[in-house]
Structure 1
């Protein structure tokens, strides 16, 4: 009979013992690759010339022979060398100081890792990519709606002008169409990237499922997780849509090009999301809060100032209270009902120049006369920085817990920003890449020493340089990123949770709002701003949940603090 027709060898027959041919072998020799029933195990092991490894049938394939000392069985796994080893490998001395574990333990660990990666891809990463991809059509619709609104605004403004400006209108409409095309191109590229990633993740899931079901130690033990590649989400396009700013029709006698209006530039940037998907953990995305058309006052607080002790600095403590500096030796905490919550005197009795609040809620202030930077913990005041040849002015607290101080030297001809970790100087920022001064100095303008400072969410350091009439922004390494010069005598400066930069222009009684790359977005010039001076944005987590950033604007001349909602 042809062997292929032997019913005992037929694919329809049950598995049999290779020695006695009884069906249903319960054991298996991983070395000889032999099916065995319980009764035949002893007979098989009687051949002492060969090293055997008999395991339950369901665990067949779990024994690995050494590639260097075949047919020795590998019973250990070297975590240092990342490979299996037998007893001869151990005695050779090559792995003497290495970390070793039982190979079956390694097998179990790898299985658990495969299971975790599979669950992460199926239950988290794959779903996240699907959610991100699903947002692209929504962004397209919103962008298209915004473009249509802008076109309507341009048309309405155009109806007030002479027919001779029709050509100029068409030019602006062409720019919008080009912007629309650029945005669609960027979003389409992002959508294609998500589609490719989703396909790759699906394939990885299938591969891991097969690997998880495998009992082949030689394959499973070599598994290396590749989930890190998928955890790093692709950069997303950050689109700053243009806006239309119509001019007053009364200026019709001026050149049409200068007075019809203008579109702010379209900005399409990418924002690296980093390892947002951390394992194990949940996915979190920052809330997107857009600027509202008409900012509104939500709190209006009047504070009594005695004699000439006017307010000159403000810093948010939480969403209900704020710290202030007066022209005396006390620092005060108020609520938005105008009630004094508490106050304390500076350690030296000198008037503080500037104040800031740390992430843990401690207060930091600068003492110009004592040349010191001080921190207030509960009721105790500690001098964390004591200077000799430099004078500390404005200060802010970074997200990492460092303190950033703007200072001038005693002769008034040099200015710099210094980063401190506790009392230790970590960084000094004074010159750009060409050796030019980044900041103005008292020697150039003895009456102006205003250089307010704040750290943005992308770790940029932003300084409102009053004498230079500029916002100077450097990155975390101290390299100049840009200067915004569309502002006269900027005083207060703040940033919000979206990375926007807000700066006071006192002579014009308005606040400039920029994006994190220095692109002008709009003004806040309503809300009864009279001589605005200091700024602070409340970035409490609860405020983010409520979908609002609250801007505190300090009016220096009247002791009036306003809280303004400008985004949602």
Structure 2
């Protein structure tokens, strides 16, 4: 045997000495074997130029050998020897095999094998049949449409420019991974938040009804106490009347007793006269019967009587007080939503900031403190207007808008430095830096993330981005389903998140309140109530309350509009005509804070 033959023999032995090692290398090299276009499978696929082009890069990674019977076509070679045409396919290993290498491959016991004829590999792997093209198997996955595609669908104009995966299973797996990530990072936390809210609400409800029961009992005790006082007063009047009556009778009794004593003495005297001589009687006796016939007068005192009033239960309930329930409706998911009864707005406090001309943004920090801004300075005040804390921006530029997170950290937008900043433990840190965009409005979310409105540096575009609590982008709202911009190019925008996670934007440039849902789809635009507003709505500040109501400041018409969850006008709050409502915020007790545009004063208003 020649040296060259010996060399070839040694090479072959070395190549097949370790099947497992070869298989692993092959799997690594040709892990995407299913992505290749097998020109020998069907005659229909020969006429699919787009499929051939699409798989150009994948095919170029394998040796190309003309098919022995179809010399105009390239054959798929064995993944192990790379010499012979494939005849079989191992499903678990995803390896194409020639007839000589089948036994070599299956002798490895490292994993179970299932070898089928190569023409049946797609059916064996259970690729779905195409619904539009009979007998075609779907091997591709369109990520934009989220559907499976066959070769014919793949080359159609319908999916042109779409993001398509060459491996259906891989594409589906990526979709599953993406859905799983969204469920774990975005959707499930929302459910957790709702569950926690329900637990907190349940605890609050139990405390509320306990207080309510105590209030009714206390009021009942007070009523019983007053009723007992009324009864005691009646009894006292009875005793007083009895005493007076008895006293009068006793006086009359004494008077009669005196008269009767005189009468007894006179009767005795007359008896004595009868025992004397007749002459004495004739000369000395004078009759006094006429005097005794005058009976002493008696003072008749009427008896007291008790006339009870009829006890009317209705009047009793009305006088005692009554229980009332807020009207409730159900949302589309069957959850009960409370609609607060209309309450006449009342100004309960006015906070003086000492700055005329208005503050550009306000945000409550707690039920007893509120943040205000003026230029580059942010000030924390109590409800008496006393200054508690004062800080300046890190950049030295003016503040855009402010908000506070659930953890109590102050967050502000800095339009000039293109940043969003957070103050934590007296340290200001840039948490978001924008490129090509300028931040405008900012608000915290229920998951302790942020909503930021922004405009492009060339002032031609506008959008809202939702950030997670780690400041990663989770949603961008910029266009509606027709590709029309949702927002105007104006930088004058306020933003707030509603209880149902709607994103509510007061867009001064479009003279509307624009609301999109948590996926960024447009829900509605509110441009004012024609029946109540004579001039156009010019929204400035915006806020939402615990009843999912939307409140927006209309500085032009000097009033505050109140909308329900679906954008229906409910009513408005008229404010001082000498001032203009500008910035708004609502605390946990549904107290509305309104910053005046001219006076710089902050009015606290109850409205529910």
* Larger-gyration structure (1/2): 2
TM-score (norm 1): 0.47
TM-score (norm 2): 0.44
Structure with bigger strand share is 1
Structure with bigger helix share is 2
For CA contacts below 8 A with separation 6 or more, give which structure has more relative contact order.
Answer: 1
